[in-house]
Chain A
Amino acid sequence: MLDVRGLKKVYEGSGRRVEAVRDLTFTVGAGELVCLVGPSGCGKTTLLKCMGGLLAPTAGEVLLEGRQVTGPPPGMAFVFQEYGRSLFPWMRVGENVELPLKQKGLSKARRRDLVADALRSVGLADASSAYPWQLSGGMQQRVAIARALAYEPRVLLMDEPFAAVDAQTRADLEDLVRGLWRERGITILFVTHDIDEAVYLGERVVVLSASPTVVQEQLKVDLPPDRDQLHTRVAPRFAELRTHVYEQIQAAKRGVQLGGTPLEAAPMDAPPPLKDGLR
């Protein structure tokens, strides 16, 4: 579905040369929910922007369904961390959600259905005529998610979407994202710096090294598909996985590649199994 091959991004400006991403290769299968974690400042956002076609990589390529991404592809939607700056304050909630659909050239009736459906999915059915700034932070991020859903993307890229909301709202939003993923079968790539969040949400966790970034490890999260905040987070397996990821991140910060891993079954050295018929 989504292939990242040998991705490298170097920022050059005024005599300074910053290698943000060195060499990244990984794939996301169709319908997968993959979390990317890494130490802060490891180029997660750079990576996501390259994948979303917002930044041109220095080397390497990103393929969406086999086709190289050169600009923002129509089948992809983005949810940004800064919800307050991503929604247009001069438009009402409904208009914000509808705007990308207008650009797609959908009929009025179709747009209305999609907007209503997306807002209902995120629990904001009656907020359509409010302005974004009349809503709380968590609700604003729900609107941003609704806008992405209404766009009917095959891939949803989320860049630390819950980093700026309070803990309780965050738990609700995490469950919302997992619920939507299971309901709609969208492929989701979720970037976060929160290890617990990555393990709780993901079917797979890709651990990134410190900048210049490479893939430190890929880890399959073998928790049951039904997860809830209360039980999943205290499950022994959850603790093992999060400890493991934590160790990897610490190692990444020190710049070492951990050798033999304590979790026999979970880590994957080879690229993840490919879903049938894709790629």
Chain B
Amino acid sequence: MRLGYVLALPAVLVAVWWVASDDSTDVYWPPLRTILETFPDVWTGERLRADVLPSVLRLAGGYTLAAVAGIALGTVIGSHRRVRAVCEPVLEFLRAVPPPVLVPVIMLFAGIGDTMKVVVIAAGCVWPVLLNTVEGVRAVDPVMTETARSYGITGLARLRDLVLPSASPQIFAGLRQALSIGIILMVISEMFAASNGLGFTIVQFQRGFAIPGMWTGILVLGLLGFVLSVLFQLVERRVLGWYHGLRASTRRSR
């Protein structure tokens, strides 16, 4: 039943697309049937390995880098009022710079290889993680802080058992935003300069007027984003199980 609800709208949308495009002769809007027929020819095992895998690895690299740097820096900035006062204006400025603009700049010093792509992805993803971590760390409940102090919980234990878990709902909100930014930057960086990858392939198809192929690339990107978001949700449910339970119980008691 629940699965029915989940699948209903996608099924309707696909059906509408199918019917609406069925007798299309427009070369840019090929029928969905044609696109799906092209799909297995284009996305062979060889291509998955040569184009999808590099893209995913770049995304994983950049995203991990951004997560680690964002959480680490955010914890430092969030825990110290003075550091925060110094950093905040700069952070606001840097956050306001649209990440794709960084691609040409980063190309200048990181070249056009994988390093450039990883750096671009990391540079774009780090902001939501960093800023959310700062907010989360700042918002640790003062009663919990005093509890920890009164029981001598300091240093690393305080970070591990109090600060990071308490900030984790905010950190995850940042990580979620970063994930969609990461996918966008992955594609964009590959469109600028690359010899493989999803973004590169889609541009190649478009330039070679292989329009159905281009559309299949877009479908693959959509599927990739969907799979990553499902994976993210699974991890989040596990790590933040306590938070969802706590929220549900406060809602009930109101």
Q: What is the interface of chain A, defined by CB distance below 8 A to chain B?
A: 49, 52-54, 72, 74, 76-78, 80, 82, 85-86, 88-91, 99-100, 102-104, 131, 133-134, 147, 151
Q: How large is the interface on B (under 10, 10 to 19, 20 to 34, 35 or more residues)?
A: 20 to 34
A104 touches B144 (CB 8 A): no
Can you list 8 pairs linking A and B with CB atoms under 8 Å apart? A54-B149, A76-B150, A80-B147, A89-B243, A90-B165, A90-B242, A91-B161, A131-B242
Give the residue name and chain of the A residue nearest to B169 (CB). Answer: A90
Asked if B143 contacts A103 (CB within 8 A), the reply is: no
- CB pair A82 B143 closer than 8 Å: yes
Contacts of B250 in A (CB 8 A): 133
Cβ-defined contact, B143 with A133, below 8 A: no
The answer to whether B93 has its CB under 8 Å from any CB of chain A is no
User: Assuming A82-B143, A85-B144, A88-B161, is B168 touching A100 (CB within 8 A)?
Assistant: no
Closest 8 CB pairs of A and B: A100-B151, A85-B143, A78-B150, A90-B165, A90-B242, A133-B246, A72-B150, A133-B249
Q: Is B22 an interface residue (CB 8 A)?
A: no
- Residues A80 and B143 in contact in the complex (CB < 8 Å), given A74-B152, A89-B246: yes
Give the complex CA separation of A85 and B166 in angstroms. Answer: 11
Q: Is the CB of A86 within 8 A of B147?
A: yes
> Beyond A82-B143, A86-B147, A90-B166: 16 further Cβ-contacts under 8 Å?
A52-B150, A77-B151, A85-B143, A85-B144, A86-B144, A88-B161, A88-B165, A89-B246, A90-B243, A99-B153, A100-B151, A100-B153, A103-B152, A103-B153, A133-B246, A134-B249
Q: A77: which B residues are within 8 A, CB to CB? A: 150-151
What is the bound-complex CA distance between A80 and B157, given in angstroms? 21
Q: How far is the CA of A69 from the CA of B121 in the complex (A)?
A: 51
Is B146 in the interface zone, CB < 8 Å from A? yes
Q: Given A72-B150, A78-B150, does the pair A88, B245 have CB atoms closer than 8 Å?
A: no
Q: Which residues of B contact A82 (CB under 8 A)?
A: 143
Closest chain B residue to A71 by CB distance? B149
Q: How many A-B residue pairs have CB under 8 A?
A: 68
Residues of A within 8 A of B168 (CB): 90
Judge whether B107 is part of the interface by a CB distance below 8 angstroms. no
B246 touches A72 (CB 8 A): no
How long is the Cα–Cα vector from A176 to B11 in the complex, in angstroms?
A: 61
B242 & A72 in contact (Cβ 8 Å cutoff): no
B193 close to chain A: CB less than 8 A: no
Interface pair A54/B153, CB less than 8 Å apart: no
Given A89-B242, A89-B246, A90-B165, A99 and B143 contact (CB-CB distance below 8 Å) = no
Write the nearest CB–CB distance from A48 to chain B, whole angstroms. Answer: 10
Instruction: State the CA gap A85–B141 with chains docked (Å).
Output: 7
What CA separation (Å) do A103 and B246 show in the bound complex?
26
Is B162's beta carbon under 8 Å from chain A? yes
Across-interface contacts of A86 in B (CB, < 8 A): 143-144, 147
Give chain B nearest CB distance to A2 CB in angstroms. Answer: 15
| Chain B residue nearest to A151 in the complex (CB) | B151
A86 CA / B153 CA spacing, docked (Å): 13
A residues near B162, Cβ cutoff 8 Å: 88
Q: Which of A54, A76, A103 contacts B157 (CB 8 A)?
A: A103
Beta-carbon nearest neighbor of A134 in chain B: B249
User: Would you give the 0/1 interface string for B137-163, flagging 1 where the beta carbon is closer than 8 Å to chain A?
Assistant: 000010110110111110001000110
Name the A residues within 8 Å of B151 (CB-CB): 72, 77-78, 99-100, 103, 147, 151
* Contact A54 B146, beta carbon cutoff 8 Å: yes
**Closest CB of chain B to A150's CB: distance in Å?**
10
B245 with A133: CB separation less than 8 A = yes
Q: Mark B215-242, 1 if CB is under 8 A from A, else 0.
A: 0000000000000000000000000001
* Residues in B whose Cβ lies below 8 Å from that of A80: 143, 146-147
Residue among B150, B161, B168, B249 with the highest chain A CB neighbour number at 10 A: B150
How far apart sit A266 and B149, CA to CA, in the bound complex (Å)? 38
CB nearest neighbor in A for B248: A133
Q: Nearest chain B CB to A232's CB is how many angstroms away?
A: 31
Q: Which residue of B lies closest to A85 (CB)?
A: B143
Scoring A90, A100, A103, A134 by chain B CB atoms within 10 A of each residue's CB, the highest score goes to: A90
Distance to closest chain A CB from B25 (angstroms)? 59
Would B150 and A54 count as touching, CB distance under 8 A? yes
CA distance A131 to B143 in the complex (A): 18
Cα separation A256 to B61 with both chains bound (whole Å): 71
